[in-house]
Amino acid sequence: MLRLITKRNTLGGLLFLVLVGEVTVASANGLFTPPGLIILSVLYFLYFILLDSLVAKYRLSNIGLLLVNFCLYSVFITGLLHGEIGDYVLRPENRVITTLIRIQCSFYPLFAFYLLEKVAPRKLPTIKLSQSVYMFMAFIVLLSPSKSFGLIKLVDTFSKAPLIAFCFSVVAVVAFIIGLQLHSTTARFKSRFFGLLSVLLLILGLIPHLAAFILLLLAMIIIGFIYILKPYFRTASVV
């Protein structure tokens, strides 16, 4: 267990939590309570370990990381296990913002891993992928009785938005399979300007205000697309 609690894993989970915009979301929906903070911290801590294991095992490029994270986080974790895909049916007036969030939360690990390599580069082997999967699945099962996150919520999402949930699932699986095959072909991307942009996004993510979240959302999508279209960034190693 002590092997899990390293500087890299702790900071990785924290960067994930902030850059995805959870500070604003949690402050708005009332999750910024001691129990809520513990659950969110554990969620992103375990998810970072899982994603870091995938990055190491498959030597993912930035585009590979983007596609894998779209599947695991944008669709599986927040879309199905948290029920946000159901909003396409339950809150049709929010379809644009729901879609933008799906896109934005596909990009955030690109900035998180870049910053992490500056402050806590990988020095030790990652946790075995099988172990990281078991831990994350155990966390999902543990939270499922809450009915707001987990397997019960997943079933509820499919019952309320079956066609949309199915389509997202198919696209996610395809993205995951392709992403795992997109190994890095060049060294890690280095750019002071990209580092500065990542820090600015991190600062926006720390501001518990809706306006800051909207700026974070739009800025991350724009910056993410600009860089992922660059071949030398797209094929670069994540770490």
- The token pair at 238 is 């994540």
Q: Is the pLDDT of residue 26 over 70?
A: yes
Q: What is the mean pLDDT of residues 114-123?
A: 94
Q: Is the pLDDT of residue 185 over 60?
A: yes
Q: Is the pLDDT of residue 124 over 90?
A: no
Provide the mean pLDDT of the chain.
94
Task: Please list the residues that pair with 236 across neighbouring strands.
Answer: 186
Among 25-34, 59-68, 91-100, 140-149, where is mean pLDDT lowest? Answer: 25-34
d(CA 64, CA 29): 32
pLDDT of residue 30: 65
pLDDT of residue 140: 97
DSSP class per residue in the chain: -TTTS-HHHHHHHHHHHHHTTHHHHHHHHT--SHHHHHHHHHHHHHHHHHHHHHHHHHTBBHHHHHHHHIIIIIIIIIIIIS-GGGHHHH-GGGHHHHHHHHHHHHHHHHHHHHHHHHHS---SPPPPHHHHHHHHHHHHHHHGGGSSSSHHHHHHHHHHSHHHHHHHHHHHHHHHHHHHH-B--BPPP--HHHHHHHHHHHHHHT--SHHHHHHHHHHHHHHHHHHHTSHHHHTBB--
pLDDT of residue 29: 67
82 close to 99: Cβ distance less than 8 angstroms: no
Task: Quickly state the pLDDT bin for 4 (edges 50, 70, 90).
Answer: confident
Task: Quickly state the pLDDT bin for 123 (edges 50, 70, 90).
Answer: confident
Q: Is the pLDDT of residue 46 over 60?
A: yes
Q: pLDDT: is 27 or 16 the higher one?
A: 16
CA angle centred on 119, ends 76 and 59, rounded to 5°? 50
This prediction has a pTM of: 0.95
Task: Please list the residues that pair with 183 across neighbouring strands.
Answer: 60
Give 151-170 as a 3 state SS string: HHHHHHHHHHCHHHHHHHHH
d(CA 32, CA 176): 32
Q: What is the mean pLDDT of residues 87-99?
A: 94
pLDDT of residue 65: 98
pLDDT of residue 57: 96
Q: Is the pLDDT of residue 34 over 80?
A: no
Q: What is the mean pLDDT of residues 213-218?
A: 95
Q: Is the pLDDT of residue 199 over 90?
A: yes
Q: For the packed helices 62-69 and 162-181, what is the interaxial angle rounded to 10 degrees?
A: 160
